[in-house]
Structure 1
């Protein structure tokens, strides 16, 4: 029997309880017959996140992931989607693989994570090796992101960490600030720009930026959702969210 609404696929999505962007982003990109079911990872908000405290805070969130996995598995999803990106960059490519194994061992089904999805998105565009990175994180976390992409054969030419001081505050970053950051990251030495941090609202801005920059601008929520769809045989082309979902 197939679910009457999710007759093509049911996705279970794990995201921090403080995250208010990833769920509506995924829903906006949802083809007919695909449903997403959000399981909140308990996340105490913090009002003084710093370079020193960032990693410890993320590790607290990461420690609660498997409880969210067990919860969402009760609706019998076909596939899982990780709606938080930071933990999927820790430890480089091997760390991402280890995280996937820990989730799949509990769930018994596949999971899409943001780090691998962004790398796959860059590969889909072809020939991209030199990138710039935008995040709401702090420099200590951007270093982990650069390490991951280095393991995957990419060079992070430069990066910007917006240094948001609370988890909920990430969702309050205005598009104008992100637009200025994209312009500062761009240059002839950069072949693509990648935005990480799933609570940063960038899906539509990234799509617009591709038009005026003439190069890929990968928003992690778009890349993660694209990767989950394609991995599950959903080939629908969706307009308004960038070349990735329109062409690949």
Structure 2
């Protein structure tokens, strides 16, 4: 069998190094999510990512059921997760996308853990973003809807009360697996929100980054006649504003028309 030997390819090295942009995209949002998360990435892809803003994701270990004890176990992984997002490069914001864990671990502890890997970066958590959003909307008396058990909902109620909110009603659905929470039909969330809304509440907060609630915020607002803040809507809004994007997006609800009062 005759094998033909092809001549070697002449590879030419270009003599001048092409110019580089300072960054591939102008702004960078780091997103730390649970290993089991189905919802945050699609939501941030729709609401945050653009030709100007890149969203870069790291997943950290998490095991159901969703209990305060299991949620606290994520804290040691936060620094490592943050460090895996574009190592040795700066970020414009880092969002830890778990509402209930942020409540039980604490916003300050989460901020310290993330800044251990990314010094000086603005840190966004869902409950604090929701607090900021509700205040910007002028709401003080609120209704709350969560997919959690009563045990996991109690710290959430205490968190919002500690931030000065008067809770008119608080409804939980009894789920303890975030993968099942992600499978709740968005249309059913509209009906559940209508039922959870107290007549005298000024706004509704729907907790949990697993819920596919952000996409139906305008529908819920139309049904209840008051502003709605969800976990992923609040963090997306917060990250956009931190990145200097002030463009109103009314198709995502009233919050996306508001500015953020930065500390």
Is this a same-fold pair by TM over 0.5? Answer: yes
Distance, in Å, in 1 between the alignment partners of 2:132 and 2:22 is 29
Specify the alignment match of 1:70 in structure 2: 83
Matches within 5 A, 1:152-191: 152-191=163-202
Residue 61 of structure 1 is aligned with which of 74, 92, 112? 74
Q: Which runs of 5+ in 1 are unaligned?
A: none
Greater fraction of residues in helix? 1
Residue 237 of structure 2 is aligned with which of 204, 226, 237? 226
Contact residue 160 and residue 181 of structure 1 kept, 8 A? no
Specify the alignment match of 1:35 in structure 2: 54
Matches within 5 A, 1:76-155: 76=89, 77-90=91-104, 95-108=106-119, 109-126=121-138, 128-155=139-166
Q: TM-score, normalised by structure 2?
A: 0.83
Distance, in Å, in 1 between the alignment partners of 2:179 and 2:77 is 18
Q: Which runs of 5+ in 2 are unaligned?
A: 1-20
Tell me the number of residue pairs that the alignment of Structure 1 and Structure 2 aligns: 236
Residues 1:16 and 2:34 aligned together: yes
Q: Runs of 4+ in structure 1 displaced over 4 angstroms? A: none
Distance, in Å, in 2 between the alignment partners of 1:227 and 1:20 is 21
Q: TM-score, normalised by structure 1?
A: 0.88
Distance, in Å, in 1 between the alignment partners of 2:252 and 2:22 is 28
RMSD of the TM alignment (CA)?
Answer: 1.8
Distance, in Å, in 1 between the alignment partners of 2:174 and 2:198 is 22
Contact residue 16 and residue 84 of structure 1 kept, 8 A? yes
Distance, in Å, in 2 between the alignment partners of 1:176 and 1:234 is 30
Distance, in Å, in 1 between the alignment partners of 2:144 and 2:249 is 24
Structure ranking higher on relative contact order (CA contacts 8 Å, 6+ apart): 1
Specify the alignment match of 1:208 in structure 2: 219
Distance, in Å, in 1 between the alignment partners of 2:169 and 2:88 is 42
